[in-house]
Amino acid sequence: MKRFLSGDEALAEGVRLARPQVISAYPITPQTVVVERLSEMVEEGALAAEYVHVESEHSALSCAIGASATGARTFTATSSQGLLYMAECLTYASGGRFPIVMMNANRATALPWNIYGDQRDSLALLDHGWIQVYAQDNQEALDLALMAYALAEDPAVMTPVMVNLDGFALTHTYETVDVPEPEQADAFLPPYEPAGNHFDFEHPVNIGFSAGPEYNRYFKYWEHRDMLNAPDVVTQIERRFAEVFGRQYTGMIETLSCDDADVVLVTLGSAAGLARSAVAQLRAEGVRAGMLRIRYLRPMPSELIAEALRGTKAVGVLEKDISFGSEGTVFTNVNSALQQAGVCVPTYNFIGGLGGDDISESQMIGMFRALQQAAGGADPAILPHVSFLGVDDVLPADALGLEGGR
């Protein structure tokens, strides 16, 4: 059924179709609409679930952990400071191998106080043991809600999943979305079958135990090993998803015109839509431009990224994040992927969209123009390896329609 939905509403519809048994909710902008819609679904009887309105984000994830420990399929949602507040619980969930699905509405972190969207919240917590996936549009948000449960609950993975939506750019904008019928969703996602890490009086297990140095390393190794199983499982899940729903996704990454590209821009989330338009425009001008969208940032698809960027002359990484005193977190990860694979290509980091700042079409074209100059052997000093859009004067003036720069 075609419906006109915001990203928050689309994800809520996906959660409804996944039939979680427990929903723990604490509202925070711009995530609030998700838990509001789910509360309405429970109240109206469209979703049979225990809806628990908790007193904080920390409690929201704590509640989800407790519910998952009983063998229930669980859902919660958060954003920004709320995600940071529940950081302590993230490692409990991942270390306990509880297959919780959580939506995070990407939003700037304080101070200064800001409710608009960048990605510093989730990127600050990449090392907390959760699979992280980033939606580009509202249809993908709905579909990821279903696929996230299939991934988290797979016995080879058994790891919680964080589905990230750009705040306001996706959460509060409306698009036409195909909402599947419940029978389709049930055919794709069967009821959750707990796999040993839940309370069971017939087969009791120890949950939440301590492990000293001689054993702790094994648990951390297993946690790492099983997250590395996720890419193969993602491939299997997306194949089944296409069979049931007729929509095909591209796995851990998505590439556009990268096969013969001289310059490629790497990004994640909703900014990929604008990058896609810029690539089409530049290709029409004869510029060999390409885009690489990282869909899953954990586990890191290093080999896929390196192979897609092999042979390019310059690579830019656009991200809504900065690791203060260093560089963008995505940039660090992409450089690591290239280094591991022995791919030698100059890379440049563009920091944009902080605090919800618009990334314009002219800036997007400008980044590609700057990469062209770098690929053509321009003085490296012209384009620093890390630059802030709207602050550093690094984009070619002609790309911005200006006479002498900004």
pLDDT confidence tier of residue 401, bands split at 50, 70 and 90: very low
CA dihedral 214, 216, 220, 226 (to 10 degrees): 80
Among 43-57, 243-257, 386-400, name the one with the lowest average pLDDT.
386-400
The single-letter DSSP state of residue 382 is G
CA distance 152 to 20: 13
The single-letter DSSP state of residue 192 is P
- Are 274 and 359 spatial neighbours (Cβ–Cβ below 8 Å)? yes
pLDDT confidence tier of residue 203, bands split at 50, 70 and 90: confident
Q: What CATH number labels 2-245?
A: 3.40.50.970
Query: Are 2-245 and 253-399 the same fold in CATH?
Result: yes
Report, as an integer, the average pLDDT of 213-229. 97
- The per-residue pLDDT for range 123-177, each reduced to its tens digit, is 999 999 999 999 999 999 999 999 999 999 999 999 999 999 999 999 999 999 9
Among 30-44, 128-142, 374-388, 391-405, name the one with the lowest average pLDDT.
391-405
* Exposure string for 133-161, b = 16+ CB within 10 A, e = fewer: bbbbbbbbbbbbbbbbbbbbbbeebbbbb
- The per-residue pLDDT for range 311-366, each reduced to its tens digit, is 999 999 999 999 999 999 999 999 999 999 999 999 999 999 999 999 999 999 99
Mean pLDDT of the chain: 95
- Tokens 């200006």 locate to 402
> Residue 405: pLDDT above 70?
no
The pLDDT of residue 399 is 55
| Conformational region of residue 98, where left means phi above 0, alpha means psi within -120 to 50, and beta covers everything else | beta
> Residue 406: pLDDT above 50?
no
The pLDDT of residue 380 is 65
Report, as an integer, the average pLDDT of 93-106. 98
Q: Which residues contact 88 (CB under 8 A, 6 or more apart)?
A: 58
Task: Name the residue ranges covered by the structural domains of the chain.
Answer: 2-245, 253-399
pTM: 0.96
pLDDT confidence tier of residue 378, bands split at 50, 70 and 90: confident
The fold adopted by the segment(s) 253-399 is: Rossmann fold (3.40.50)
Q: 205-219, 319-333, 388-402 — which one is most confidently predicted on average? A: 319-333
